[in-house]
A and B are shown apart, each in its own frame.
Chain A
């Protein structure tokens, strides 16, 4: 189980011409990921999703907040012992093409970490071959056919499955899937999503699902939560279906409105909403971060910062002064 409390991360970069650039990539994000549970983070490009994923896997540092893994607050753990906590959390990267070493066969790709793991746990290395085959079967691949192959001999969907199998070699408790299906051919996406769902139910693995494609978040399984992130801040969260069917924050409403409508099978939601402007991450404001793009902003919105809470008599948490449920997602017609 992972608990994140008030995680912040600010990047400072200095360009030759542009001067110092400060990006608050995360502004106090917290969430709880229970065993076997699923939390999806959705938001547009640049809002801090990958930064969050990297922090949770130890690939990126954070400046503020607490990260608790299995009840242990990581800042109390000495640096060199943190690795054993981060081992339990594995990331599946978005690009199955660059994630695998092209000069190694699947056999080697899975064998190496399995042997290392066997040494750590004191198991016999002889079990490695069986375990590799077992993992491939688990991710829906046929071991005999796939083991001798190099990555370029596999399709995108098969490669992504190998990436997932490799993440499973270290017996993780948590998988972080960062845009794990966006580079996969459409026809195979549902297969990978179904696999992630299975890993939750069969192995009790928790899933942190990161994407800008809201529709895919529906397929990672029941009981999931959707967290909508905007410029490093969670602005709405609740059960996935609730947030999709009756979002209350205008930013969530804009995101959901942007999901293409399958004409002939669906009709556009009656309240479809478009943001007033494109994202400009340089804008600073004491008020609501979304105000410059929000069709409903008033004076209060530009002066005061709304915080995440459950107000206005709606089911989910949100950070908006004027929460109104709107039906923005497409409606099925057949």
Chain B
């Protein structure tokens, strides 16, 4: 009997809070509907912070928005499923049921959220609006919870609730966004570019708070960023996107130490760092593709890849497990990608 209990506990621990399968999201363009995310498979394991990185336009925000089934029409999820623990498949929800899930189960802080608060209403007023939209009965409890969260994040909760957006600094607005995302007790927190407009000290403070709240509340967190530094500072796991595909994922430290996809390797090599030889750093040649310029056959990265071979133009590489807990989508030998590819 003890054995079964332990087994279930273990399984529960390894289980994913969010499980994305074969997700494809299409946007309408002048060349017809094109995928911004194509056949994405990814799990957010319970209790972990996953970092999602990639250049501008790689589909990070689109993937993150899909988790809430919030792709703006005429964009649409055209295939796949997104299982959220205790909720079911989010892609099948609509209307009232969907609105309940957003906020209650999934807390989302939008990209550029430092500018997304309503400038005409105090934070407190916006909190009450949020409560009303979610049919919260205990409004007092809601306000109390918001104050607690704000206090935990190093702000004066009462003052923050009485403030208008312009009275808060960028770092404070970012934190208010997190408070509003968590106040309905969401278990999953999605942060899209949480530190992009902030200076280094504010960035470090926000990351510290995310880490603390994540741990304290036992959350499952997804941090979307284009900044390798931010990811490596905060994430347990790392997923790399390019041209709408997840091209590599695994434990953050391992991926940073031994990137197995040429793109991951190039991104790391292109990051301005405070240590090491500045001469070995290299910008990536070329430019990131958009929906219309992503290669339609073969590997999406092939036009910028130093290792591209004939097969790369013909067959799209699948995201496959190549070592324990490591996946990559590349035709080249993992040993080669780790050893070469020091830019062009």
- A residues at B contact (CB < 8 Å): 44-45, 155-158, 185-191, 193-194, 212-216, 218-219, 244, 254-266, 274-275, 278-279, 329-332, 334
- B residues at A contact (CB < 8 Å): 55-56, 169-171, 198-205, 207, 226-230, 232-233, 252-257, 266-268, 270-276, 278, 281-284, 287-288
Once the chains bind, are A185 and B229 in contact (CB under 8 Å)? no
Q: For B252, what are the chain A residues with a Cβ–Cβ distance below 8 Å?
A: 263-264
Tell whether A258 pairs with B275 under 8 Å between CB atoms, given A187-B55, A188-B284, A265-B257: no
Once the chains bind, are A259 and B229 in contact (CB under 8 Å)? yes
| Candidate in B205, B266, B276, B282 with the most chain A CB atoms within 10 angstroms | B276
Distance in angstroms from A194 CB to nearest chain B CB is 7
Once the chains bind, are A261 and B202 in contact (CB under 8 Å)? no
Distance in angstroms from A288 CB to nearest chain B CB is 17
Q: For B227, what are the chain A residues with a Cβ–Cβ distance below 8 Å?
A: 186, 260
Once the chains bind, are B226 and A212 in contact (CB under 8 Å)? no
Once the chains bind, are A186 and B256 in contact (CB under 8 Å)? no
Tell whether A155 pairs with B288 under 8 Å between CB atoms, given A190-B270, A264-B252: yes
Between A and B, 24 residue pairs with Cβ closer than 8 Å are A44-B199, A44-B201, A156-B56, A185-B55, A186-B228, A186-B270, A186-B271, A187-B270, A212-B200, A213-B272, A214-B274, A215-B229, A218-B274, A218-B278, A219-B272, A255-B200, A258-B201, A258-B204, A260-B203, A260-B204, A265-B268, A275-B201, A278-B169, A278-B205
A157 to B226, CA, bound (A): 15
Apart from A212-B200, A262-B256, A334-B257: 18 A-B pairs, beta carbons within 8 A: A45-B198, A186-B270, A187-B266, A190-B272, A190-B281, A190-B282, A212-B199, A214-B200, A256-B274, A260-B203, A260-B204, A264-B257, A265-B276, A278-B171, A278-B205, A329-B274, A331-B275, A332-B276
Q: For A190, what are the chain B residues with a Cβ–Cβ distance below 8 Å?
A: 270, 272, 281-283
A-B Cβ contacts below 8 A, count = 129
Once the chains bind, are B233 and A186 in contact (CB under 8 Å)? no
Tell whether A213 pairs with B283 under 8 Å between CB atoms, given A190-B270, A260-B232: no
Once the chains bind, are A185 and B226 in contact (CB under 8 Å)? yes
A300 to B255, CA, bound (A): 48
Distance in angstroms from B119 CB to nearest chain A CB is 16
| Candidate in B171, B199, B202 with the most chain A CB atoms within 10 angstroms | B199
Closest to B167 in A: A18
Tell whether A258 pairs with B200 under 8 Å between CB atoms, given A186-B226, A187-B288: yes
Closest to B281 in A: A190
Distance in angstroms from A23 CB to nearest chain B CB is 14
Once the chains bind, are B278 and A44 in contact (CB under 8 Å)? no
Q: For B276, what are the chain A residues with a Cβ–Cβ distance below 8 Å?
A: 265, 332
A113 to B154, CA, bound (A): 50
A218 to B253, CA, bound (A): 24
| Candidate in B252, B268, B287 with the most chain A CB atoms within 10 angstroms | B287
